[in-house]
Structure 1
Amino acid sequence: MIKIGNISLPEFPLLLAPMEDVSDPPFRSVCKSNGADMMYTEFISSEGLIRDAIKSRRKLDIFEEERPVGIQIFGGDEEAMGMSAAIVETVNPDLVDINFGCPVKKVVTKGAGAGVLRDVDLMVRLTQSVIKHTQLPVTVKTRLGWDDDTKNIEEVAERLQDIGIAALSIHGRTRCQMYKGLADWELIGKIKNNPRIHIPIFGNGDIDSPEKALEYKNRYGVDGVMIGRAAIGYPWIFNEIKHFLQTGEHLPLPTVQQRVAVIRQHLKHSLNWKGPKVGIFEMRRHYTNYLKGFPNIKEFRSRLVQLNTYEEIDEVLEEVLRTYDGFVAEKNLWTFAEGAPNCETAK
């Protein structure tokens, strides 16, 4: 078992990464149903929480069925981070996670996200402030460093562990890499195998198949993996990895019936949480990913993104079922048309 504070996770847990404009409760619900062991909210601005910004407050919504779940916050001011941690605790998540990894300019220029990697002393003070203001376990998600010349993750891991964080998730790229190139897992493995490190270390970056999850588990010894982009439109990846780790065999690819069932689950939760207008509108971005790989699917997608009621959408989904009965699409790869994942779409 893996322990994060009083949270017990299975051996080699699979974590759903926090992704801005993606990891909302409806998306988290389908990932939880398909094997995700722990999940995180979209990242939340500490200053937004303090200002009572509607969008930030709404991101605090969590549901019992998705536990264990962490709320992720970011910011560059010690007082604001401490106050936001106290606010987060009032909604009773299982943990508080700090984002020191978002690479986008509008976050970095505020001295937050991956921008803090240039000032490890500040990173320590920000983390201390969060720990001081909550009784919940505090974890951190970060990157290898600012650029190839300043990969300071070894210092970061040791110093953050020493002040009391309960786990560390490491994305295997620098800030300057953004999401380009291959993630460097060698350095993640070095952190895990550092004799000074005793907290759980989770690796993140490029895990998109059961084979890769097993390879990285064996090669680098991480305590678990965090999956982001590969779960968009393909939440089955969590159970596929679990099954492969246990048996060495692949689960069958999801049928059209399974894909439509997940779309309906996602849509219903979206409607319940966001209301009919926003729920239907924001669901439109997901159809391409769920239905990728089906021949001549463009016509159905075009109709789905123009409809305004659940009943109309459900009728089109019934047509999809009839048209593609017996067809199994190849495994989906992430192609979100509206923007990149994680904090790439941060406002």
Structure 2
Amino acid sequence: MKVTKIRNVEFKSPAFLAPMAGVSDRAYRELCRQFGAGYCVSEMVSSKALSFNNKKSEELMEISESERPCGIQIFGGEPECMALAAKSAMKQNPDIIDINMGCPAPKISSAGSGAALMRNPQLCGEIVNAVVKVSNVPVTVKIRKGWDDDSVNSVEVAKICEQAGAAAITVHGRTRMQYYKPSVDYDIIKNVHDSVKIPVIANGDIDSAQKAKEIMDYTGCELVMVGRATLGNPWIFSQINSFLENPEKPLVFPTLEEKLDVMVQHISKMVEYKGEHMALLQARKLVVGYFKGVRGAAALRNEAGKISTLEDLYVLRERALQCSEAY
């Protein structure tokens, strides 16, 4: 498989794990790298929280060697504050600093961060420039199609970010107002790819190996970023890698027992890093992904919302095995 690069950072796979709040923590990044993700990015970290030496935010930036190459994503709406956040992030020796300009969450955008930055292209450039000046690793940007249908400006923002020093740009092909529906506009991703000289990473609705190749061929992007489709399905990375290498080779899908074993591995690693109480609270919304396609999934999801110990997880695993067979 062709080795791709963002500046001096090499990737053995073109399939990246998207940063997802409450999901892409250290345990999940390690898991996805194990299954072939070429690159991972941390959950987004608040630049303002870092300016107050917030311990939780600092913990979000911890990177293990098994995750590399791995980036740290920061968000905020003030160039100086973002530069300070980048300096703080550099203490963890990330391979890349990523700037979030695409988060649609109201609590983020209402504060002038995330996708709200798309409404001020000049400020986007100023933030990138400020972060680039203090970073000794490549700086990338994640953007959306625009704020709404009346302000589709991703090409403009991409050009400004490139000029300000961005090393690559990830484009999610929806506006902020569309959140995660309707279908992704891959034409806009293609337009961004064709308008800049730096790598462009296609993002949005990539839920299979076939879809990944289709989008790469259509947009011209050599890199893709996968988010929600990885939930309970880290195998998607190995499937994408296999399909890109040989489309004629049958894809390998996990058995139910394999899926549940990985579920336990995933949550056990969370417990190791966060402690049982916090890890299991967060795990309630994560384990449901492993039940997709399982008979009795509705009842299993309901039980998943009540787990509070690893022992509960083991019991849930056994119940799932008794309930059904995958596919």
Q: Residue by residue, what CA displacement relative to the aligned partner does 1:72-98 show, whole Å, maximum 9, x if unpaired?
A: 001011111010100000111111000
The percentage of counterpart residues that share the same residue type is 38
For 1:57, what is the secondary structure of its paired residue? helix
Q: Shift of the alpha carbon at 1:300?
A: 4.8
Q: What's the counterpart of residue 11 of structure 2? A: 9
Residues 92-144 of structure 1 deviation map (CA, whole Å, 9 limit, x = unaligned): 11110000111222211211111111111111111111111111110000012
User: What's the CA shift for 1:328?
Assistant: 2.7
SS in 1 for 2:149: coil
Once residues 119 and 312 of structure 1 are traced to their aligned partners in structure 2, the CA distance between those partners, rounded to angstroms, is: 48
- Contact kept in structure 1, 2:232 and 2:286, CA below 8 Å: yes
CA shift in 2, pair 1:247/1:92, >3 Å: same
For the 8 Å contact 1:142–1:170, the answer to whether it is kept is: yes
CA distance in 2, matches of 1:121, 1:301: 45
Mapped partners of 1:312, 1:230: distance in 2: 25
Residue 73 of structure 2 is matched in structure 1 by 72
Gaps of at least 5 residues in structure 2 are: none
Distance (Å, rounded) in 2 between the aligned partners of 1:238 and 1:84? 30
Q: Which residue of 2 is the match for residue 276 of structure 1?
A: 276
| Secondary structure of residue in 1 paired with 2:170 | strand
Determine if contact 1:276/1:309 at 8 Å carries over to the other structure: yes
Query: Distance in 1 between the 2:177 and 2:308 partners?
Result: 41
Partner of 1:328: 326
Aligned to 2:47: 46
| Gap change, CA 1:182 and 1:258, over 3 Å in 2 | same
Partner of 1:123: 124
**Contact 2:288–2:304 under 8 Å retained in 1:** no
CA-CA distance at 1:281 after TM superposition: 2.1
Per the alignment, residue 203 of structure 1 pairs with: 202
**How far is 1:233 from its partner?**
1.5
- Rounded to whole Å, the distance in 2 between the matches of 1:275 and 1:293 is 30
Shift of 1:29: 2.1
Partner amino acid, structure 2, of 1:267: I
Gaps of 5+ in 1: 330-347
Greater helix share, 1 or 2? 2
Q: Distance in 2 between matches of 1:252 and 1:20?
A: 29
Deviation at 1:298, TM superposition (A): 4.7
Aligned to 1:236: 235
Amino acid at match of 1:224: L
CA distance in 2, matches of 1:75, 1:215: 34
Q: Would the aligned equivalents of 1:137 and 1:166 in 2 still touch at CA under 8 Å?
A: yes
How far has the Cα of 1:157 moved from its partner? 1.6
CA distance in 1, matches of 2:165, 2:301: 48
Q: Quick one: distance in 2 between partners of 1:83 and 1:176?
A: 30
1:94 correspondence with 2:95? yes
- CA gap of 1:297–1:175, structure 2 versus 1, over 3 A, is closer
User: What is the rounded CA distance, in whole Å, between the counterparts of 1:301 and 1:175 in structure 2?
Assistant: 29
Deviations 1:231-284 (A, max 9, x none): 111111111111122221342321012111211111111110111211222212
Deviation sequence 1:292-320 (CA, Å, 0-9, x none): 22212455555554444324532442454
Which residue of structure 2 lines up, in the alignment, with residue 21 of structure 1? 22
Count of residues in Structure 1 that have an aligned counterpart in Structure 2? 324
Letter in 2 for 1:328: A
Mapped contact 1:256–1:324 kept (Cα < 8 A):
no
Give 1:18 shift: 0.6
Task: Give per-residue Cα distances to partners, 1:189-238, cap 9 Å, x unaligned.
Answer: 122223xx221110101111122111111121102111011111111111
Task: Check whether the contact 1:18–1:42 (CA below 8 A) recurs between aligned residues.
Answer: yes
Output the amino acid matched with 1:3.
K
Q: What CA distance in whole angstroms lies between the structure 1 residues aligned with 2:115 and 2:316?
A: 43
State the alpha-carbon separation in 2 of the partners of residues 300 and 230 from structure 1.
20
What's the TM-score once normalised by structure 1's chain length?
0.88
Residue type matched to 1:251 in 2? L
Question: Which residue does 1:344 correspond to in 2?
Answer: none
Trace 1:310-325 onto structure 2 (pairs within 5 A): 310-321=310-321, 323=322
Counterpart Cα distance in 1 of 2:84 and 2:238:
37
- TM-score for both structures, normalised by structure 2: 0.93
Is 2:144 the partner of 1:143? yes
1:66, CA displacement in angstroms?
0.8
Query: What CA deviation, in whole Å up to 9, does each residue of 1:172-199 have, x standing for no partner?
Result: 01112111111111121122223xx221
